[in-house]
Structure 1
Amino acid sequence: MKKFLLKILFFFFKRSLIFLSKHDKNIKDELSNLPENYRIILKIHNMTSPMISLMKVNDKFVENIDTSSADLIVEFKNINSAFLIFTAQKGLEKAFAEKRIILKGLITYGIIFTRISIIVQRYLFPAFICKNIMKHIMPINNMLKIKLYIYGIIKG
């Protein structure tokens, strides 16, 4: 059941990353620090699915079909760790501190992707949930949040 739910959550997280990389100023600023054609994979250790594979192209994320290699691999140690984060029971910073996530690649770029992911979570979850899983709740564009939800429903 967790694996099925995580497939859905990974799918919406991927769509949100792609959409917000085109429209959110904070994410665009973070993306400007990644090299062009930088490939990122987000997955669960020893599992081929669910997985998110992205590439930075023209200062935005696009889906990367080639999952054989990546410049940065962010791996949850197990399905339970991924479930806690994707259901907003735990924050990303805390998950890293508790060693629930393995990072393969340059730590600098891993931190950039973590900041981008936190911004995406801020759009996906309401403020009362975010204040429990984030150290700092940044303001977001509520109109963009509505567009994200519509985009996710129509394109999803």
Structure 2
Amino acid sequence: MSQLVLEALDTRTADVWQMSARKKRSLAVKKGISAVILHFLFYGLEVLNQKEEKVRAEVGDWEEDFTFGIGMGEKAPALYMKKTKNRLVRLSAAITVPEDMDLMIRFKSVDAAFAVMSGQIGVAGSYARHGFMLKGDIARAMSVVRCMDLAEAYLFPRFLSRKILKEVPKKNMGIIRTYLAVAGRMIRFESGKRENKRQDGGRQNVTGLL
């Protein structure tokens, strides 16, 4: 009898370990996808701030140096942004302190964040389900959420937008044109980073020679 009990306990332990491993893999995949979506969300907001009047009006109403972030806990993807001179600038997640943000949307779990990032539910739906905590001014948060809703309407196919948004706004760009604009902005940004590194390297070499 004792041998049978030990065998049963070993089996249950193995099942729990396997489930834990599957859960870890699932979370890793969701974190990876969320990181990519947050990357596109930033550039999408940046493009729409230049090309969509509604987003430009919302951003224009924010105070200079206003900072806001979207996160999902420690060791998970996050997006931190700052308004400066009517532009949106991405802040480094490695050195940014979430508590220092003027506005912070922190999802209670990776699963709750992924449901929004993947277009399963909208930001408003996640809020209704208590999927995230909000730190900051509620009026400013509503403005940020309106911008995110517009970004989702532009970046997601219409069948997803209709499911997660109360009303799909009229758009002045189609999804292909939007992604082309986002891709162009990403390429220019990466080219600028490489050029800055090259110039910094050149200055260091000159300093060394002197």
Partner of 1:126: 157
What CA distance in whole angstroms lies between the structure 2 residues aligned with 1:140 and 1:41? Answer: 25
Partner of 1:100: 131
What CA distance in whole angstroms lies between the structure 2 residues aligned with 1:2 and 1:99? Answer: 20
Matched, 1:28 2:59: no
Partner of 1:47: 74
Q: Which amino acid aligns with 2:101?
A: A
Identity, % of aligned pairs?
23
Structure 1, unmatched stretches of 5+, are: none
TM superposition shift of 1:92: 1.1
What CA distance in whole angstroms lies between the structure 2 residues aligned with 1:134 and 1:105? Answer: 23
Range moving further from structure 2, 90-99 or 64-73: 64-73
TM superposition shift of 1:48: 4.0
Partner of 1:13: 41
Partner of 1:141: 172
Q: Which amino acid aligns with 1:55?
A: K
CA deviation string 1:88-131 (max 9, x = no partner)? 11011111111101110111111110000000000001222111
Partner of 2:3: none
Structure 2, unmatched stretches of 5+, are: 1-28, 188-210
Bigger helix share: 2
**Do the aligned partners of 1:76 and 1:101 also contact (CA within 8 Å) in 2?**
yes
What CA distance in whole angstroms lies between the structure 2 residues aligned with 1:31 and 1:132? Answer: 26
**Do the aligned partners of 1:28 and 1:60 also contact (CA within 8 Å) in 2?**
no
Q: Which amino acid aligns with 2:88?
A: F
CA RMSD, 1 decimal: 1.6
Q: Secondary structure at the match of 2:105?
A: strand
What CA distance in whole angstroms lies between the structure 1 residues aligned with 2:50 and 2:84? Answer: 11
1:65-104 matches, cutoff 5 A: 65=92, 67-68=96-97, 69-104=100-135
1:103-114 matches, cutoff 5 A: 103-114=134-145
Distance verdict in 2 for CA 1:152–1:93, change over 3 Å: same
What CA distance in whole angstroms lies between the structure 2 residues aligned with 1:97 and 1:33? Answer: 26
1:54-69 matches, cutoff 5 A: 54-65=81-92, 67-68=96-97, 69=100
Matched, 1:150 2:180: yes
Partner of 2:148: 117
Q: Number of residue pairs matched?
A: 154
Q: Which amino acid aligns with 2:180?
A: I
TM superposition shift of 1:11: 1.0
Q: Secondary structure at the match of 1:109?
A: helix
What CA distance in whole angstroms lies between the structure 1 residues aligned with 2:172 and 2:42? Answer: 19
Bigger RCO (CA 8 Å, 6+ sep): 1
Bigger strand share: 1
Q: Secondary structure at the match of 2:61?
A: coil
What CA distance in whole angstroms lies between the structure 1 residues aligned with 2:78 and 2:178? Answer: 21
